[in-house]
Amino acid sequence: MTEKAVVIYSGGMDSFTILNKAVREGLEVFALTFNYGQKHSKEIEYAERVCEELGINHRIIDITAINQLIHNSSLTSDTEIPEGHYADDNMKSTMVPNRNMILLSLAIGYAVDIGAGKVYYGAHSGDHAIYPDCRPEFVHAMNDVAKIANYEPVEIVTPYLTGDKISILKDGLAMGLDYGKSWTCYNGREKACGKCGSCVERLEAFEKNHTTDPLPYETEA
């Protein structure tokens, strides 16, 4: 019997890589995408198309109600998205309080409900500087909780926890993945802005891998 796994799939390049990695590992994948009121909801459209193409069970869950409690992030409010590298202090405004704990809790509940023993999510070292809920200590603590929160233990799998976006892209390119099928920009406009932290990190990964990002950018001549 094929092992089931839930993949938290935003539609971005990290989760796009992990989704395909899980499929190639022979798992029966159940993709879970959350609409939490993010400005870059365009990523949800990308996630939907990829799952349809791969024939993967996919659920898009509306949790925008949480913005009644946590709405001061630049990703979910009228605050302007900051520009620059993730290492810059101004990027802290993109932190959505407790987001990954909320998403993981829901994904773990879904995993228990469908009899899946694993939940995959895309934490990586490039996010450690400003996102506490992507750091190893958080992931390890959540993993401990996931093993005792229900009658059925669930393992949180983070293949790139100690790697960065450069290594994620390298792995994905080796799998022959088309990253034109992923959306990373925090601004959900027609083209990627090329200036927000997410774009800067993505473009850096392509540069370090000596290849060109297939997505169109506003910054291109």
Mean pLDDT value across the chain: 88
Mean predicted confidence (pLDDT) in 103-113:
97
Q: How confident is the model at residue 157 (pLDDT cuts 50, 70, 90)?
A: very high
User: End-to-end distance of the chain based on CA atoms, in angstroms?
Assistant: 52
Nearest to 71 by CA among 99, 113, 31, 105: 99
All structural domains of the chain:
4-208 (3.40.50.620)
C-alpha span between 82 and 218 (Å, rounded): 16
Beta bridge partners of 60: 33
Q: Which two tokens stand for residue 187?
A: 């601004």
pTM above 0.85, yes or no: yes
Q: How confident is the model at residue 208 (pLDDT cuts 50, 70, 90)?
A: very high
If one compares 193 and 84, the residue with the highest pLDDT of the two is 193
CA distances from 36 to 44, 69, 99, 180 (A): 11, 12, 9, 23
Q: How confident is the model at residue 127 (pLDDT cuts 50, 70, 90)?
A: low
Eight-class DSSP state of 96: -
Nearest to 168 by CA among 191, 216, 134, 144: 134
Instruction: Say what the pLDDT of residue 187 is.
Output: 84
- Which residues are CB-contacts of 130 (< 8 A; sequence separation ≥ 6)? 86, 91, 92, 94, 95
- The pLDDT of residue 154 is above 90: yes
Instruction: Say what the pLDDT of residue 197 is.
Output: 85
